Structure 1
């Protein structure tokens, strides 16, 4: 089999893959090369696409032996795709962005995430673009669990139900919720919002003053209690705090990197780290 025949097959079929960018081009080329040396008829086209952050190729052969070879090849490159950024081809992993699953490196993940902030002029910004000024808000509402905030710019927006929405999953969400004047919320929501911020406690895991109803709004860990579940799994409070702190430190889902600039909660200057280097090494052996 001539190299130039394989090259033509690869380049011809590369355009048959519906993917989000060029980051997977090299692994698609490698997959097509393996198709060629695996016995695939070079006159037949191969098609594929990105789905749920994975490289999918549904090509099928009626030859049972060749079909097993093709299944092995496509499985190999599906596994490689979920470790490769769709945009740039560097190391990546599956992530959720705007309710879509995609495989991205950290930089391209952060580029696509909504970064909420409030500047000194009370401008509410998303990715450094002004979306609303606090002084222009005519009405504010929160969901029953306070995890989604809707802001209406004027009476027309209220009447047409056109709101700017923000989620607790965005950095500085609780800073925004705290900053909006209470009188803009319905009367039945004002007390709950006020009490949330008045009764926050310090989290022994991450150190932020963010504990509400026994759960931390910053690191999202439950606080220690002497229930049978906690006692059975950890034995004592210090073991639980150490395990949670190591989970925060290793930051497997890159949550900490995304929330690096979150200013919603103050952090205690007396916060204690309980785990040691030895604890961390043992934790990594188990989890990675």
Structure 2
């Protein structure tokens, strides 16, 4: 980029200021020459777009990803390396990246948010400051395994029944093949089961086509969600789950959508 700026007429003795925003390189330079300024804008715009395709750590091919509510550009390897997977060993140690965070026996109390998608584990029963608790999210593999493993009595009484009902009433998902559907939503693949809504009836020929298209989306995994969640064992598998697409279906679907 600096070479192109120099060729365009930019004086390299002047500083070129750059920042990262939303996973992209943003350059802040200005010339009083309107013609040069237009060229500078074109060059910096090109490299801003290019920066969103290159891993900021190793320089390999990457793409924008969300990490702790921040956008960053990473290759698959560095993305997975920085994403924590919850593990619970035989000694009831809760681990992230093979580091013990705490033992379930050390938990004094637990709280979940209203939709059970965030979990706070406290070591001190008197504490009410969630900043002092260990926090876990449904966006982490094995979150629901952890939620199921925490003894119910550690939760407030008004949350215990909701947590019990969640795991007691799970149904099978025809898309991903896990027993993970709760209140008409799959907690594992995040698809709705087929229903005869206006949107579905207008968009798909029938239930089988809906399931097939959702399965192909999961297989193609454009956002790398399935690669991250491949170690998730929160839910039982459904017996006799069927994959409804074949190789030809997948190739045609790719041509149409990608």
User: What band does the TM-score fall into relative to the shorter chain?
Assistant: over 0.9
* Deviations 1:209-240 (CA, angstroms, capped at 9, x unpaired): 10001110000001100111110011210110
1:113 corresponds in structure 2 to 83
The residue correspondences of 1:172-191 to structure 2 (distance < 5 A) are: 172-191=142-161
Q: Across the two proteins, how many residue pairs are aligned to each other?
A: 257
Aligned to 1:238: 208
Is 1:259 aligned to residue 219 of structure 2?
no
* Secondary structure in 2 matching 1:114: coil
Map Cα deviations across residues 5-55 of structure 1 (whole Å, 9 max, x no partner): xxxxxxxxxxxxxxxxxxxxxxxxxx0011111121232221111111000
For the residue of structure 1 that corresponds to 2:141, the secondary structure is coil
Distance 1:38 1:188 in 2: 67
SS across alignment from 1:275: coil
Q: For residues 100-157 of structure 1, what are the alpha-carbon distances to aligned partners after superposition, in whole Å with 9 as ceiling and x for unaligned? A: 110000111112112211111000111111111011111111111010111111235x
Is 2:40 aligned against 1:70? yes
* TM-aligned CA distance change 1:159 to 1:284, over 3 Å: closer
1:45-194 paired onto structure 2 within 5 Å: 45-156=15-126, 158-161=127-130, 162-194=132-164
- 1:12 corresponds to which residue? none
Alpha-carbon distance in structure 2 between the residues aligned to 1:77 and 1:47? 14
Deviation of residue 159 (structure 1)?
4.9
- Among 1, 6, 11, which residue is 1:41 paired with? 11
| Secondary structure of the structure 1 residue equivalent to 2:90 | coil
Give the direction of change, closer, same or farther, for the CA distance of 1:99–1:159 in structure 2 (3 Å limit).
closer
Structure 2 residue aligned with 1:209, among 179, 184, 190?
179
Distance verdict in 2 for CA 1:160–1:246, change over 3 Å: closer
1:95 Cα deviation (Å)? Answer: 0.5
Cα distance in 1 for residues equivalent to 2:12 and 2:73: 30
Distance 2:29 2:85 in 1: 40
Structure 2 residue ranges without an equivalent (≥5): none
Q: Per-residue displacement from partner, 1:251-283 (whole Å, max 9, x unpaired)?
A: 011000111111101112411110122221121
For the aligned residue pairs, the C-alpha RMSD in angstroms reads 1.2
What is the alpha-carbon distance in structure 1 between the residues aligned to residue 4 and residue 239 of structure 2? 57
Larger Rg: 1
